[in-house]
Amino acid sequence: MSAPLPDVLAVVRGHLLGPDTLVRAVASGRRRSDQPRWKRVEVRYVDLRAGRRLQVTSYDETQAFTANYEVRPDVGHSPAAVAVDELLAEPFGNWHVETTTEQHQVRVTKKLEGLLHTSRRTEPAEVDRGHDRDKDRLLPEDDPVFRALGLADANGRLKPSRQAKYRQVEEFLRLLDSSLTDALDKGHLRTPTAEDPLRIVDLGCGNAYLTFAAQRYLTGVRGVPVHLVGVDVREQSREHNAGLAAELGVDADFVVGSIAGVALEHDPEVVLALHACDTATDEALARAVGWDARLVLAAPCCHHDIAAQLRATPAPAPYSMLTRDGILRERLADTLTDALRASLLRAEGYRVDVVQFVESQHTPRNTMLRAVRTGTPAGSREEYDDLVATWHLAPRLAELLGTSS
Ligand SMILES: C[S@@+](CC[C@H](N)C(=O)[O-])C[C@H]1O[C@@H](n2cnc3c(N)ncnc32)[C@H](O)[C@@H]1O
């Protein structure tokens, strides 16, 4: 039942200002015709040497910003209370609040009322207030999955040569975590159960670093039942990954097949495609649309197809200076390819963000297309048609979707 929004937010405030009982809270989404300053904010308490602090991590399109606030229950307007009031004043559409004994889900309706759903935990949750870097990580370095994947040594210490890969896995999990929470909160994704776990496919999984890390994080840390399938053209990948799954006791299937042609027993709800080469990313996106996937995370790899098309045809006036030099032409090809992919997905009823998922010093292939199925087509077909006609482009994804101009 909906209630006046100030009353519901007062309940949220009470929980956020519970340094002993708050496990974590997440604010996300927006209200009708109002946009919060941040895309998402996470709140929890951490124990620092100076004492317990309210930690607020705010995410914009590309980065996370963390700030810690003093907790002074004896003072009406302690820094923590001021920070909480500022957050509650932001027009977020959803609040997800976990305490040691309850979980609260708040959604702001179109009439700007608050819908509060509260469920009691069967057992009190433990609170992690650690602040060391390891505890801030979604999967600690000594998790068995990193040893099995060869990123950590036998003592669970990260190998210096594998730091970049570990960082990439961690940042990918962060994006997966926030995308999943958001999609579940907004009802774009059903709540999976042990009998009917979330069906995830990783297309072009290679050695399945991200597949295994995702499985381990979602089931072990978040308690989300998932069934994973990894697809790769290489038999060697399948053998290696099936062996690892057995070693880790993980319920995952690995199949040899092409992204474009693989037949899966059940249509996946979440599609991952990370650094699938060139137009293999287009194939992955087209399969996701065909399966009606709810959430798609695709980090494109190289963009040879559009780069070759730019090379083949003179640039339209007055843009020739953008394509004269190879390096600029390649960067333009990257941007055009991903902008056109995003536009095509929007037209298919996906909400799409193009974000940076890991700092460029860890990998130059650091763009992520994040698409959530809303069912409402968006964007302008006219602008898309204009762009491809001006540059004489034939995006592979449009061909695969059968929507070429
Ligand atoms: C650069 S690796 C990325 C591996 C993994 N996703 C990761 O991010 O660590 C690309 C993988 O995609 C596979 N691949 C490329 N094109 C494919 C296709 N059309 N169908 C299936 N697998 C493909 C390759 O065999 C390779 O293992």
pLDDT tens per residue across span 103-125: 999 999 999 999 999 999 888 88
Task: Report how far apart, in Å, the C-alpha atoms of 22 and of each of 46, 126, 134, 306 are.
Answer: 11, 10, 20, 49
CA of 292 to the centre of ligand 1 (A): 22
Buried b (16+ CB within 10 A) or exposed e, 258-283: ebeebeeeeebbbbbbbbbebbbbbb
Same domain, 253 and 200: yes
Same domain, 145 and 236: yes
Give the pLDDT mean for 147-152: 88
Q: Is the same domain home to 107 and 256?
A: no
Boundary residue ending a domain (120, 147, 171): 120
* pLDDT, tens digit (0-9, with 9 covering 90-100), for 47-86: 887 789 999 988 876 666 778 898 877 776 889 999 999 9
Residue ending a domain, among 120, 146, 161, is 120
180 and 149 co-located in one domain = yes
Q: Are 389 and 357 in contact (CB under 8 A)?
A: no
* Probe target for ligand 1 pocket from 233, 239, 400, with the most ligand atoms within 8 Å of CB: 233
Tens-digit pLDDT profile for residues 266-325: 999 999 999 888 899 999 999 999 999 999 999 988 778 899 999 998 899 899 999 999
Q: Are residues 112 and 179 in the same domain?
A: no
First vs last C-alpha separation in the chain: 47
- The backbone region for 156, taken as left when phi is positive above 0, alpha when psi lies in -120 to 50, beta otherwise, is left
Q: Whose CA is nearest to atom 20 of ligand 1?
A: 258
Q: For the chain, give the mean pLDDT.
A: 89
In-domain check, residue 331: yes
Atom 13 of ligand 1: nearest residue by CA position: 204
Could you tell me if 172 and 91 lie in one domain? no
Indicate whether 204 and 339 sit together in one domain: yes
**Are residues 394 and 403 in contact, defined by beta-carbon separation less than 8 angstroms?**
no
The answer to whether position 126 is within a domain reads no
- Of 91, 120, 149, the position where a domain reaches its end is 120
Block residue for tokens 């030099």:
325
Position 361 confidence tier, pLDDT thresholds 50, 70, 90? low
**The CATH number of the domain where 289 resides is what?**
3.40.50.150
Report yes or no on 125 lying in a domain: no
Ligand 1 centroid to residue 202 C-alpha, Å: 9
**350-356/367-373 β-pairing:** antiparallel
Q: Based on the fold, state whether residues 113 and 142 are members of the same structural domain.
A: no
Domain-embedded: residue 114: yes
SS3 224: coil
Residue 87, pLDDT above cutoff 80: yes
Query: Which position has the token pair 């570990």?
Result: 166
393 and 267 share one domain: yes
Instruction: Give 18-46 pLDDT, tens digit per residue.
Output: 999 999 999 999 998 889 999 889 999 98
* Contacts with 246 (C-beta within 8 Å, 6 or more apart), sequence order: none
- Number of structural domains (the chain) is 2
Q: Is 380 helix (H, G, I), strand (E, B) or coil?
A: coil
Asked whether residue 279 falls in the same domain as residue 182, the answer is: yes
Same domain, residue pair 246 and 301: yes
Residues in contact with ligand 1 by the CB-under-6-Å rule are 204-206, 209-210, 231-234, 237, 258-259, 274-277, 280, 283, 301
To which H or E segment does residue 119 belong? strand 113-120
Domain that holds residue 56: 2-120
- In a domain? residue 128: no
Q: For the chain, give percent helix, strand, coil, nearest 5.
A: 35, 25, 40
Same domain, yes or no, for 141 and 50?
A: no
Q: Where are the beta strands (DSSP E) in 8-83?
A: 22-28, 40-48, 51-59, 64-70
